[in-house]
Structure 1
Amino acid sequence: MNIETLRTYCLNKLGATESFPFGNDTLVFKVANKVFLLTSLENPNSFNAKCNPEKAVLLREKYPEIVPGYHMNKKHWNTVYYDGSLSEKLLKELVDDSYQLVYEGLPKSLKQEIENL
């Protein structure tokens, strides 16, 4: 997976938007103004994704490329380094899980707005 594939995959999520709230280097993907993924354009071989805390621990134990989230709440966020050693299927699953966790935490009214887009 490369940065363009990651970007396209994130933007294909229902209601997903992209922005640069932390400067020109950090690309942030949100749903209903809530962050679900961040990546650096300067070092585009990693991203931060939200994760269920129990699953985050298991992933970190199994994959050395998955570590506690850099500059994030380490209980709920992972930094994922992708240099070709992790499958694209796993990378997409991590993006999907992150999006779903954020989406599920939205108020019902916001979910309905997004679904009506």
Structure 2
Amino acid sequence: MDGKTLRTLAVRIATALPEAEFGFPFGPEHEVAKVVGKVFFLATELRGEHLVTLKCEPEHSLALQEEFAGAVFPGYHMNKKHWISLRGTDQVAEDLVDELVRTSYTLVVDTLPRAARPGLSAQALKGLQIEDD
């Protein structure tokens, strides 16, 4: 999948998640999604290449970087241990993007106080259908 398709798909998935809000707090070139005020998704363009940056568990990040070398790398302008960036390559499939966006969202939601968490559990989130445009 090319970078533009990657970004469009990732935005569509993130937008459909409960209480996800999009904005441009770092300028017009950096699209950011937050849940209850906490960032879980960033999309930007770097030297003409579309990148999506997501929260990720450190062990999973290392495994992804090894398995998808060239497509997954430490988070651009983020904590390299807890964030990954994804670029469009032939290695990137729709199900991988879906998994990574939902995982990023869930990692952030899990850090919120219970009273502030959106109504869906991580288990219910897995079954949430994303509408095609």
Q: TM-score, normalised by structure 2?
A: 0.79
- Residue 90 (structure 1) aligned with residue 99 (structure 2): no
Which moves more between the two structures, 66-75 or 83-92? 83-92
CA deviation map 1:8-41 (0-9, x unaligned)? 2111001100000000110000000100010015
Q: Distance in 2 between matches of 1:4 and 1:47?
A: 10
Amino acid at match of 1:47: V
Which moves more between the two structures, 41-50 or 25-34? 41-50
- Cα contact 2:32–2:41 (8 A) shared by 1: yes
- Residue 59 (structure 1) aligned with residue 64 (structure 2): yes
SS in 1 for 2:105: helix
1:1-117 matches, within 5 Å, as 2=5, 3-40=7-44, 43=48, 45-64=50-69, 65-111=71-117, 114-115=118-119
Cα pair distance change 1:57/1:7, threshold 3 Å: same
Q: Distance in 2 between matches of 1:69 and 1:6?
A: 16
Cα pair distance change 1:92/1:44, threshold 3 Å: farther
CA deviation map 1:53-79 (0-9, x unaligned)? 111111111111100111100000001
SS in 1 for 2:62: helix
Structure 1: runs of 5 or more not aligned: none
1:100: Cα distance to partner? 0.4
Provide the aligned C-alpha RMSD in A: 1.7
| Aligned-residue identity in percent | 35
Structure 2: runs of 5 or more not aligned: 121-133
4+ runs deviating over 6 angstroms: none
Query: How many aligned positions are there?
Result: 114
Q: Distance in 2 between matches of 1:92 and 1:110?
A: 24
